[in-house]
Structure 1
């Protein structure tokens, strides 16, 4: 199982701080998220960076085998 943690605009679109999924890839995990605002969540995913156990990626085909935590990081000013 992998925990997805949502920050800033991603948290607002999803409506949760975090959720746990069973997925083979980052893309598969993101598709499992039942967002509070599905249209906003769908559009936002393309602009996010993802920290997969602390390693930054934008490649949604990244394997989640053995991964404990994915941080979903939307772009934000001042950071």
Structure 2
């Protein structure tokens, strides 16, 4: 299973900080989390960056393996 961690507004929109999902690609992951968390989360997800094991990934065909971690990071400002 892939561990998905949600941060800031993504955690707020899903109501959880993490979950484990059985998916094989990044595209499958996106579909599953949208099915689980609905249209309100879809607006958030569209602005988020996805990190696979700490590395930014955008290719929906990226394969996910047992034990991977995907971080869902909304845009944020710092100072």
The answer, yes or no, to whether TM exceeds 0.5 is yes
Q: 2:10 — aligned with what?
A: 10
Report the CA distance between 1:30 and its aligned residue. 2.3
* Structure 1: segments with no counterpart, 5+ residues: none
Q: Over the residues paired in the alignment, what is the CA RMSD in angstroms? A: 1.7
Determine which structure has the larger helix proportion and give its number.
2
CA contact (8 A) 1:52 1:67 kept: no
Number of residues of Structure 1 aligned to a counterpart in Structure 2: 77
* Structure 2: segments with no counterpart, 5+ residues: none
Report the CA distance between 1:66 and its aligned residue. 4.5
Report the CA distance between 1:67 and its aligned residue. 5.1
